[in-house]
């Protein structure tokens, strides 16, 4: 059987991209400013992460206006949510029981 690390998705190997998709979850759409503030990153860093994930089809970007102010909303696609779930499952397998309270060091 292949090691679980082979199930890790390179798209989520950076903390910002991992955190972005984790924050969005499956059914949440957030605007750019809210994501930026939540993740505590600059506009540039968030923009690059969104562009990368959008290019893979893992997030959907919608541009529009709230009043007369331009806004960008981001949501996870079904493909992105599935890929993220596989990635997290692989991390759990790799970590095994590490960090469990019932184990002695």
Q: Is residue 34's pLDDT more than 60?
A: yes
Structural domains in the chain? 7-94 (1.10.10.10)
Write a three-state SS string for the chain. CCCHHHHCCHHHCCHHHHHHHHHHCCCCEEEHHHHHHHHCCCHHHHHHHHHHHHHCCCEEEEEEEECCEEEEEEEECHHHHHHHHHHHHHHHHHHCCCCCCCCCC
**pLDDT score for 102:** 52
Phi, psi dihedrals of residue 2, rounded to the nearest 5°: -70, 150
Q: How does pLDDT run across 9-27, given as a tens digit for each residue?
A: 999 999 999 999 999 998 8
């Amino acid at each position: 059987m292949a090691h679980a690390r082979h199930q890790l998705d390179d798209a989520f190997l950076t903390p910002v991209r991992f955190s972005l998709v984790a924050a969005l979850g499956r059914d949440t759409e957030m605007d750019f400013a809210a994501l930026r503030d939540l993740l505590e990153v600059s506009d540039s860093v968030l923009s690059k992460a969104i562009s990368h994930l959008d290019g893979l089809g893992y997030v959907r970007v919608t541009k529009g206006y709230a009043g007369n102010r331009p806004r960008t909303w981001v949501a996870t696609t079904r493909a992105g949510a599935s890929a993220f779930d596989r990635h997290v499952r692989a991390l759990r397998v790799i970590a095994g029981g590490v960090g469990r309270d019932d184990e002695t060091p």
